[in-house]
Structure 1
Amino acid sequence: MTASAVKHSSDNFSHHRRGAKRRNLRTDRDGDLVMDGPKRDRVGKTTGPGRGRGFGINTAALQREVLKHVASDSNQGGHIRTAMPRPASQGHLAELKVTGWTNSKASTQEDRGVSSLIGFLERHASKRGSLFSQKGRNPAHTTRIKKSRVEGDVLSIYVPTEEVSAYAKVDGFVFAGKNIKIEGASIRAKSPQNRQTSPEPTSDVKELFQDFLSSRYNPDTKVLDLSSLGTDAKLNSVGMFNTTSTQSKFFPALMKICDTQFKTAQEKKETIQSISLAGNEIANIAAVTTLAQTFPDLQNLDLSGNKFDNLNCLIGWKNKFRFLDHLVLTNNPLEQLQPGWETEILQWYPRLRLLNGIQVRTEEDVAQKNKPKKAPLPILGPNFQDEAQIAETFITTFFAGFDTDRSALVNMYYDTDSNFSLNVNTHAMRDPTQQGGYKTQGWDAYIRLSRNLKHLNNPGPRAARKFQGPDDIRKIWTQLPATRHPNLITDQQKWSIDCQHQPGVPDPSGQCSTGVGGFLITVHGEYEELDAANSGPAKYRSFDRTFILGPGGPSGVKVVSDLWTIRAYGGFAAWKPEGGEQDSLENLAAEISRITGMNMVYSRMCLEESGGDLQKALAAFETAKASLPQEAFT
């Protein structure tokens, strides 16, 4: 990306950050009606170029670059889908009393300004009906006052009970020069003192958070600006950051409130594509780690102006944000303290094209790197959620090492916190078609170490047969018979392997108390138990092995948990597709339909044109999906 491209990109992203510092009173459309609330600048308006302080980098220009790609790339293809409230029932109305309006500028009107006041209330209550109600030009839902009456200086209005909270937010607004007061039995009394000491998401705090998020969200650019939270006037007015306790609870509660605003993950993905956490003085992500769970499909993330001094501060987000396109980390100490950090970041995020406003991958590079390929392992694509081939490399290395050099394998993947246990399932179904060694069993080598909790009731042996740390695990492995597993490539039909992401894996750096992301791998297969005396096959076993992988260890990947279940040989017919070749093709077509959303007719066509190869069919779909007609999809 050229410097001119950065210079001439949109100013909206940096505009949102500056806008957070200029929140004043807002003037109503009528010109003379002023309400308390954050001031919104016009979209695209800027007050100057702005230059970030520290390291001599123009951070404002880099932040604007994020918006360029939000506005030009990800904003194509349709409108934002808004969670539409259901029409209010007119059968359940609540009475609210409005006072303080009688001597307003509108009192000279024939009806003392009642009609203007009712319109004022409806307009502003509609804007506050839901968090993202102002995504478009019009409110997502327009509320109406069902009936009203005037008794002296009191205007009584009747609104649906589910809309009371929206009208309660208008309390204290200035109507035609006068502050109005809205009261009613359905409105909970505000307690500023309680708010300061209790940041839990009670009803009042939820409303506070919803108003805060609404003021920080730009529907045109799909940016949620969470920069400089500590200086936010609204949050400080209720003492949100007065204590360490309230600070630690704030962001998780904010994410929980934010998550409840969306009906589907797709709606969330389309609505919020960029988030800024700039200028929050964050030293590690422990306090904000829930961002990855709430917005896993985020495309642009600004972390500039914080205190990250090495990538371990961000390890909890490694391999998260699978669609991240642009990451901004300017004005963080790691830029000077950890040379080469950019290379590691690229490994974390295989779709990343822009880093600090600089193009690090082309679109072609991203497409090629993430192109579906025929896996060398016997796996089903949708059930194997690998990233950067971490799980694939582990599986290939592990079983080869277990058969040849178990001590070296322990040193590579196991540390003091790693756990291993095995159990023998003597009642598993056997393969009735096999004879000889396949049927001859015997468990002497395993049974004294078996931790089968169904049969082992004594707490002492239960605890003793769970082995922890490389020394204990190595000692047990040397006591077990030698093995020879089938070749993972040439004997794929003898294996069934699944992998999926596993949250909450212990963080080896200790910085993230809620854990980091890892993998849960389950392997089903068989092996030959070698006769040490004759160096030939003694018995055939079937097995199930479950691994939990996490970051750490000499190789960067460690085994957190290893559970090995050994059973009598049962064959590998369970992994074969049922029926003949046609049934198999139908199953593949159904899988393509599930993954792509195409109907079965187009899924079969895609599979046939790809020679019956699932991976090729999925790659062909990715290439052609933009040109497919609407009728191709379910």
Structure 2
Amino acid sequence: MSYRGRGRGGGYHNYNNNNNNNGRANFNHNQVDSYIAQNSIPIEIMGWNGASSDECVNFISRKCKVVVMNHVVDPATGVLKGYVKTQQMANDLLEWSGVKFAGQSLKFSKGGDTFSNKINPGNTIDVITQFIKSRYQPEFKMLNLSAVKHDPILVNQGFFNSISTTSKFFPALMKIAADLKLEVLSVDLSGNELTDLSTLSAMAATFPQLQNLSLQNNNLSRIKVFETWKHKLNFLRELLLRGNPLLANLTSASDVENIKLEIMRAFPRLIVVDGEILRNEHVLNESLSFGFPSGGSMFFQDDEIRNMATNFISNYLNLWDSNRADLMVLYQAESQFSMQVDTSHPYLLESKTNNSAGTDFGYYLPNSRNLTRVSSAKTRSSRVAVGQEQIFKAFSQLPKTKHDLLAKPENFSVESYRYSQVNGVIITIHGSFNETDKPDNLDGLQSSVPSGPRNRFAYNQNKKAIALGHKSFDRTLVVIPAPNGAMIVASDLLLIRPFASKDAWKQPQSYQITPPSSAQSSNPSPVPAVTVHGAPSANDLPPEIKSSLNPAQQELLVKVVLETKLTLQYGIMLCEQSSWDYQQCIINFKNSVASLPREAYTT
């Protein structure tokens, strides 16, 4: 909007006292903050920690139609504070308490209250730190947080003088406990007058290995309060709930059983509730312990990586099949996800007839980021989902699935090794899945593609239903360990392709290496054929090849031809062009696989 042509008065004379000699506004940042604070309503937001504060404010603007201004994060409590323009906006925002953001429930309240004047702000951290240390029992790895409102030191400091200050105590405590890096397996929260668990949402990240939890003698009355920790306390074994209206108000045995079933769904390893054994711990551990079969289709850098990767993958795919929203705790504001479709994969080991039901890629093509098919820089950029909100939207536009990982682990292949550049781990899994239902977000899938007759990937609700089927996939995740044992997915690459059976990586019983014919080979000295029974080794190579290669090169050549199924002739060419570097060999092979002739392969 241009201001040219307006008179000098034009509504600006009211600020003459604040103008400098050049006629420019002389407000500084502190004056702006002061002006906003005096002419706006302060509000506070809890439960936003699943993403960045900017993403939370943008979400509130879109979802709640309320603009939060001048927002900051209280470093002591973790509460997001800001201002809205009117009292009505503040009241409207309060009605949105409980709205889901980044897998958590937001809670809004009017601000204005701070910790009691008895507390020196610089001393708050010291007070809570000493309180935690006094309540921690290292021999039992237990943190006793029972009846904190009756602790004389905390009461004297004024932590519970108002509802606002009380709500800030547990978030602050969890943040400080996380910094202390205590090893905690048991927490006692009894006798704290808790009506919900929103102020304790950070506990799952602070104590991810928690096994025993007491919530006795509180005011919990709804099963929904456990949504805060659903699928987050994955090692919780025992829970105490006596003295809460949740169970005390139930009159029928069936209602009690239903409540217990809901609690078990929230905590996958829960065994005991109020002293009652709810399920067989041995059977449960066996079903949740996913052991990949040994063999050539699996690679783990060491035992630590094996344990981490197998546990992560089994839980990840379980949630991918059942509730993708719960995966959002693994993704942060900088996390990225992209999906591509490869319809021309060369290894279709099943017949065309058997694959016909699984080759409809209509649900995937609109968002596919296959760089060999998508050349526009703008489109390439738009098909990378960044941050929790975009990633969840992308997830909801993919069909629902079922991976038979636990029942048939032999149908999957996994590679995992350390990625030292980011102090993380790379996990790649290959396998197949069954599509069980259409995507949840069909409208979003349709709107993500420009309309028009030229767009052959556009989804049209009037066309015949897209067939569900059996497809194969390759997924690579860069996982970074977060503090206290949590995990962050920094990068997530998903490739969807036509179904191929597990024979694609099955260890062959005999391996035939044959050269190309002399007419097809650029090498004037053809390599003789050799049959290797069982697992091939350098000893199985022809003498004329062994004489020209050192032992390390011989071992690398055997490894490359075994994994790529190339003939010796092409295997040597690949190794030479890759400077005898294994990783570069695999990269170069993947880049050129579509252009290699049939004669380049042994089978």
Asked whether the two chains share a fold, i.e. TM above 0.5, the reply is: no
TM-score tier (shorter): 0.3 to 0.5
TM-score normalised according to structure 1 size: 0.35
TM-score of the two chains, using structure 2 as the length reference: 0.37
